[in-house]
Amino acid sequence: MPAHTATAAAPSDGSAERLQRIRAGLSARHGRETRFRFYGMLATALAMGFVVLLFAMVLAKGLPAFTQAKLLLDVTFDPAIVKVEPKPVQSLDQTPADYRRAMQDWERQVTLVNWNRIVEQAVRAKAPDFQIDSRQILSIVENNERFRLRDRFVADPSLLGRTIPVTMLASANVDNWLKGTIDRSLPDAQQQLRDDARALADRLHAEGTIRFQFAWGLFTNVDSRSAPAAAGLAGAFMGSLYMMLVVMLLSVPVGVMAAIYLEEFAPKNRWTDLIEVNINNLAAVPSIVFGVFGAAVFINYFHLPLSAPLVGGLVLTLMTLPTIIIATRSSLRAVPPSLRQAALGLGASRTQMVFHHVLPVTYPGILTATIIGIAHAIGETAPLLLIGMNAFVASVPGTPLDQSAALPVQIYLWQGNENRNFFEARTSAAIIVLLALMLALNGLAIYLRRKLERRA
Amino acid sequence: MNSLVTAAVLLALMSIAYQVGWSRSRAIEATAGKLHSRPAYHGYLTVVWALVPALVILAFWLIFSQRITQSYILSLLPADIAAQGEGDLATSIRRVRDIASGFGVAGETAPWENAAGQSLREFQLLAFAIVVAAAAGAGALAIVWLRQRISQRFRARNAFETVIRVLLIACSGVAILTTAGIIASLLAESLRFFSFVSPLEFFFSTRWAPGFSTTGNADGEYGMLPLLWGTLMVAGIAMLVALPIGLMTAIYLSQYASPRVRDTVKPVTEILAGIPTIVYGFFALVTVGPFFSKAGALVGLDIRATSAFTAGVVMGIMIIPFISSLSDDILRQVPRAMRDGSLGLGATRSETIRRVVLPAALPGIVGAFLLAVSRAIGETMIVVLAAGNSPYFRLNPFEPTSTVTVTIVKQLTGDTDFASPQSLVAFALGLTLFTMTLVLNVVALQIVRRYREQYE
């Protein structure tokens, strides 16, 4: 101990001096320690704070959009306005094509009826003494309500001459005005509605004709540009669902089998090393690169349809595959070697050992990884933009090959809508739906893992 | 209907095959004693043998049926109809198809149309019957052939396991195929782009002004340096936000926090990683951008609502959990003995962390950092919404900017015909992005891996 012997010459005041120096520095060191610890807590609190902030903001903005102004009206299908022939019936000697033509002719007649007047009459009936011209009355009712009246009539022509209660959506501008999303003190020139329409809306709201009700339309309607208050997520939801199906059906079997080969069968050589590096790298490739690849290969080379959930699903499958492979491999690696040795020792072949004994143990892990991978995939936007899924699609896709939107892309489209006041809340509502879906999927993954692991 | 019949035939074929293989082996076992493989394996192998020829025939039909039907319809058309122009011919063919399908066409039909429709219907039925019969027949032949081969020493299990092995290898090939496909497609399209614009201009020019694709020529300037600069600036700001917060969070969680705090805080911060980037983008556009803009005005800074700064800060928040969980794992791998040694010599905890734990973990943290940079560079939706899309060289981070990913989205969105340099440039940009992230990922993954091995 050379250091000790060096100071041993003057043991008493040497150690005292050293103690002195240590003591002198001690408070500064402890101060640094406290500060450092404080920084750590601060950083952690910040990270947590961002989560809280993000959710608070999305909820604050989005929750109001789940209720919507609706008009509770009594609609009379006045025969003086609805002047049409009786609905055609298919006769036995008619081909389907001829019947369809007759039907189309009749529906054209029905469409030519002045449904706006019927809407107008229904609103006027609620405020008979209010002096206002027809255009202003129609500006408080959503644009597509007349088509909904027409569709009701097409479905049931016996409505002619009867009066039925109908709940109509108020227009987006009325919704803004009544919710206060637009500044009420703005001068007339900057208001979306004319002053008499605003007064009528206020009066109807006070009288209970306009009420705020849960916006079911958000879930049951498709996207709409001409009738923003009726824009909903149904199409996007189905599109995302189809994509999830495609991802699930393709990425799980392929991913699990690839993982089994790499973990259980592949010889350890340069080739499998390459595959390993390659898979790890694929997991970190930016999602937009997959989109560019999809555009070049699926759209440009194979000529698959644009905006189709199938193509979106294929692109997302390629993105999810590495995640599932990596997770399955780590689950396989976690299976104790004794299980393998026992199976092999009793004479099972390698394939039997893997499929009968090792794989069943890893099901919880694979299941969780799959759900988390899919939850991640449905939130992905950028690659979908490149394969044309940002097209405006106002229908619910019937098959994975139909044009369709997807939830995240719908969010992207809505945030760009010109009617900012209205769509900021709608977009946030769509975000809430997407986040709820993802949280539910993740929750399911956690629940399943707990449940399955306990049993195993 | 056709696909249902096909599926039914295939299912029947499979069950018959299994039954034949199984019962044949059972019969042999009953007379000659134990077989090499269990009866089930004989059944599985027979199914594989029956399925392969049937599927091959069906696949051929799937590929060629369109062309065959088309030429058959052409042969049915009278000479004067067949000689019509493209559009009329297509209409005639569609009418014939509609008649054949039984749906009919509206209005009068020419006699030749009826005749053609009738024979097309017969042809389609006949062709379908022949194909399905051929597939079933080929499957049946394969079954019969395999049935002959089943004997006491027939190694059905080994053969079946080879089939499985091939399937597994094919699945793990998908990952390689994806990477190869990405590289090949990006390279091919980039080469097409470079036939319009010289690579020198693309990589080293400082002006980005690609013009519009409708003009159909290459006028416009394609220097990617402003985009690259924007990308690096946004990623740099993101890392300035994410690295301190993420690293300090990791330090706090791994070194200071009690297990209970850790177990609650870690999942909560990881929620940040699971939120779709479009949500961050919306959040940046609607809330963070205006907030910075107002805050900047208070202190006399001119901060634009959509700027490199806004995008960078929000992206940093997104990356925090990425850095914190990776670093947390890495910090926890530092051997306990090193920490205990330092603490035992009287160092405070923060001194131990700064002088012992962090230097030991440095390679791993650098790896995590590089992975995070790669993610920041490839991030799309946040910058699409919040960076302002203005592809000029600007040093001021408070001004709008544009990045490589934004430009890919902008140039490729909604395009189906990749012929103009304006859309092809997206592939060159994609290739650049892919190469950048590939290098970062490979280096980072190597570092992390080597680091992990060092302490194992």
In chain B, residues with a C-beta closer than 8 Å to the C-beta of A431 are: 279, 282
Taking an 8 Å cut-off on Cβ atoms, the answer to whether A381 and B272 are in contact is: no
pLDDT tens per residue, range A231-271 = 889 999 999 999 999 999 999 999 999 999 999 998 888 88
Interface contact A286-B98, CB threshold 8 A: no
Q: Partners of B116 in the beta sheet?
A: none
Whole-number Å distance between alpha carbons of A223 and A426: 11
- B370 and B269 in a common domain: yes
Contact B426, B349 (CB under 8 A): no
Mean pLDDT of chain B: 87
pLDDT at position B456: 62
Residues B219 and B348 in one domain: yes
Residues B316 and B243 in one domain: yes
Residue B450 has pLDDT above 70, yes or no: yes
Instruction: Please give the pLDDT value at position B358.
Output: 92
Residue A88 has pLDDT above 90, yes or no: no
Secondary structure (H, E, C), B296-337:
HHHCCCCCCCCCHHHHHHHHHHHHHHHHHHHHHHHHHHCCHH
Q: How far is A197 from chain B (nearest CA, A)?
A: 29
Write b or e for each residue in A102-141: b if 16 or more Cβ atoms lie within 10 A of its Cβ, otherwise e.
beeebbeebeebebbbbbbbbbeebbeeeebeeebbbbbb
Domain boundaries, position B42: 2-154
CA distance B359 to A20: 30
DSSP string, A89-158: ---TT--HHHHHHHHHHHHHHHHHS-HHHHHHHHHHHHSTT----HHHHHHTB-TTHHHHHHHHHHH-GG
* Cα B456 to Cα B452: distance, rounded to the nearest angstrom: 6
Residue located via tokens 């933009």: A385
B1-26 pLDDT, tens digit each: 578 889 999 999 999 999 999 999 89
Burial (CB < 10 A; 0-12, 13-18, 19+), residue B144, is exposed
CA angle A310, A312, A316 (to 5 degrees): 115
Residue B184 lies in a domain: no
**Is A37 in Cβ contact with B271 (below 8 Å)?**
no
DSSP A193-242: S-HHHHHHHHHHHHHTSEEEEE-THHHHSPP-SS-GGG--SHHHHHHHHH
- Of all residues in chain B, the percent with pLDDT exceeding 90 is 45
Where is pLDDT greater, at A451 or A454? A451
**Bridge partners, B194 (sequence order):** none
Q: What is the CATH number of the domain that holds B300?
A: 1.10.3720.10
Element (DSSP H or E) covering residue A4: helix A2-7
Please indicate, yes or no, if residue B421 is contained in any of the structural domains: yes
Q: And the tokens for A277? A: 């590096």
Report residue B224 as tokens.
């990617």
Residue that is written with structure tokens 């694709």 in the block: B213
Contacts for A365 with CB less than 8 Å, ≥ 6 apart? A327, A328, A330, A331, A334, A449
Residue A103 clears pLDDT 90, i.e. is over it: no
pLDDT at B107 over 90: no
Higher pLDDT: B408 or A183? It is B408
* For residue B85, pLDDT beyond 80: no
Statement: residue A332 has pLDDT above 90: yes
The 10s digit of each residue's pLDDT in B24-60 is 989 988 888 888 888 889 999 999 999 999 999 999 9
User: What is the nearest CA distance from A311 to chain B, expressed in angstroms?
Assistant: 14
Q: Residue A9 — pLDDT band, cuts 50, 70, 90? A: very low
d(CA A138, CA A116): 7
The answer to whether position B142 is within a domain reads yes
Structure tokens at B432: 């650049």
Cα(B53)–Cα(B160) distance, integer angstroms: 16
Whether B143 and B250 map to the same domain: the answer is: no
- With a pLDDT cut of 90, the percent of chain A lying above it is 36
Q: CA–CA separation, A414 vs B384, rounded Å? A: 14
Task: Please indicate whether, in this complex, the C-beta atoms of B269 and A284 are within 8 angstroms of each other.
Answer: no
Backbone phi and psi for residue A132, each to the nearest 5 degrees, phi listed first: -160, 145
Q: Give B372-414 pLDDT, tens digit per residue.
A: 999 999 999 999 999 888 888 888 889 899 999 999 998 887 5
Question: B252 with B396, same domain?
Answer: yes
How do residues B266-317 score in pLDDT, each as one tens digit? 888 888 888 999 999 998 999 999 999 999 999 888 888 889 999 999 999 9
Q: Note whether B250 and B145 are same-domain residues.
A: no
Interatomic CA distance for residues B249 and A45, integer angstroms: 8
Residue A95 Cα, gap to closest chain B Cα (Å)? 6
Q: Which of B276, B350, B384 sits opposite A37 (nearest CB)?
A: B350
Q: State how far the alpha carbon of B257 is from the alpha carbons of A154, B308, B334, in Å.
A: 67, 35, 17
pLDDT at A133: 87
Least confident of A33-37, A210-214, A397-401, B339-343: A397-401
pLDDT digits (tens, 9 = 90+) for A348-395: 999 999 999 999 989 888 888 888 889 889 899 999 998 888 788 888
Residues B250 and B382 in one domain: yes
Rg (CA), chain A: 33
Exposure letters B84-115 (e unless 16+ CB within 10 A, then b): eeeeebeebbebbbbbbeeebbeeebeeebee
Q: Could you tell me if residue B173 is inside a domain?
A: no
The DSSP symbol for B278 reads H
Determine whether the interchain pair B438/A408 forms a contact, defined as Cβ–Cβ distance below 8 Å: no
Quick check: is B169 in a domain?
A: no
**H and E: helices and strands count for chain B:** 18, 2
Put simply, the answer to whether B385 touches A415 (Cβ < 8 Å) is yes
Question: What does the pLDDT read at residue A7?
Answer: 45
- Strand order through the sheet with A163-169: A163-169, A67-76, A210-214
Q: Would the pLDDT of B199 be above 80?
A: yes
Confidence at residue A388, expressed as pLDDT on a 0 to 100 scale: 81
Q: What is the pLDDT of residues A53-77, one digit of tens each?
A: 999 999 998 998 899 999 999 999 9
Domain ranges for chain A, please list them: 64-215, 234-455
- Residue-wise pLDDT for B215-259, tens only, equals 555 567 888 899 999 999 999 999 999 999 999 999 999 989 999
Contact B171 A257 (CB under 8 A): yes
- Integer Cα distance of A114 and A111 in angstroms: 8
Secondary structure of chain B: what % helix, strand, coil (to 5)? 80, 0, 20
Residues B309 and B375 in one domain: yes
Instruction: Count Cβ atoms within 10 A of the Cβ of residue A166 and give its class: 0-12 exposed, 13-18 middle, 19 or more buried.
Output: middle
Spatial separation of the C-alpha atoms in residues A189 and A209, rounded to whole Å: 27
- The verdict on B375 touching A (C-beta cutoff 8 Å) is yes
- Residue A415 and residue B320: Cβ atoms within 8 Å? no
Using a CB-CB cut-off of 8 Å, the residues of chain A touching B117 are none
B119 shares a domain with B219: no
Q: Rounding to the nearest 10 degrees, give the CA dihedral for residues A143, A147, A148, A150.
A: 150
Between A428 and A272, residue with greater pLDDT = A428
Angstrom distance (rounded) from CA A345 to CA A359: 18
Overall average pLDDT of the B152-163 stretch: 90
DSSP assigned state of A270: H
Q: How far is Cα A382 from Cα A294, in angstroms, rounded to an integer? A: 12
Q: Provide the residue type at A399 as one letter.
A: T
Cβ of B317 within 8 Å of Cβ of A50? The answer is: yes
Task: Provide the chain B residues 158-197 that lie in CB contact (below 8 A) with chain A.
Answer: 158, 161, 164-165, 167-169, 171-172, 174-176, 178-179, 181-182, 185-186, 188-189
Place of tokens 């102004």: A69
Pick the closest to residue A156 from A75, A100, A234 (CA basis).
A75
Is A6's pLDDT higher than 80? no
Shared domain check, B112 and B222: no
Percent with pLDDT over 70 in chain A: 96
Radius of gyration of chain B (CA): 33
Joined tokens for residue B268: 């909560």
Q: In angstroms, what separates the C-alpha of B31 from chain A's closest C-alpha? A: 25
In whole angstroms, give the CA distance from residue A327 to residue A437. Answer: 22
Q: Which of B278, B324, B445 sits opposite A408 (nearest CB)?
A: B278
Read off the pLDDT of each residue in B124-147 and give the average, rounded to a whole number.
91
**B174 domain-assigned:** no
Residues B228 and B126 in one domain: no
On the 0-12 / 13-18 / 19+ scale of CB atoms within 10 A, B256 is middle
Q: Give the CA dihedral A301, A302, A306, A308, nearest 10 degrees.
A: -150
A74, β-bridge pairs: A165
CA distances from A393 to A298, A404, B82, B377, B445 (A): 20, 6, 37, 31, 42
Q: What is the pLDDT of residue B213?
A: 57
C-alpha dist (Å) from residue B429 to B188, B196, B407, B434: 13, 15, 8, 8
User: A119 CB contacts (<8 Å, ≥6 apart)?
Assistant: A75, A137, A138, A141, A145, A146, A149, A168
In this complex, do B178 and A318 lie within 8 Å of one another by their Cβ atoms?
Answer: yes
Beta bridge partners of A68: A213
Categorize the per-residue pLDDT at A1 as very low, low, confident or very high, splitting at 50, 70 and 90.
very low
How many angstroms separate the CA atoms of B258 and B264, rounded?
10
Spatial distance between the Cα atoms of A417 and A412, rounded to a whole number of angstroms: 9
d(CA A145, CA A161): 19
Render pLDDT for B415-424 as a digit per residue (tens, 0 to 9). 556 778 888 8
Closest CA to A279 of A246, A327, A244: A327
B191 in a structural domain: no
Q: Which residues of chain A are within 8 Å of residue B34 when distances are taken between CB atoms?
A: none
Using the predicted structure, report yes or no on whether residue B346 has a pLDDT greater than 60: yes
Structurally, chain B folds into a number of domains equal to 2
Instruction: Judge whether A77 and A153 are in contact, CB under 8 Å.
Output: yes
If asked whether residues B143 and B266 sit together in one domain, one would say no
pLDDT at A346 over 60: yes
Which own/partner contact pairs does A151-154 have at CB distance under 8 Å and 24+ positions apart?
A153/A77, A153/A82, A153/A110, A154/A87, A154/A107, A154/A110
> Is pLDDT at B160 greater than 80 in this prediction?
yes
Residue B214 DSSP code: G
Q: Is the pLDDT of residue B449 over 90?
A: no
Domain A234-455 maps to which CATH number in 1.10.10.10, 1.10.3720.10, 3.30.429.10, 1.10.20.10? 1.10.3720.10
Query: What integer pLDDT is reported at residue B217 of this predicted model?
Result: 58
Task: Report CB contact under 8 Å: A260, B244.
Answer: no
Q: Of A64, A178, A52, whose CA–CA distance to A426 is shortest?
A: A64
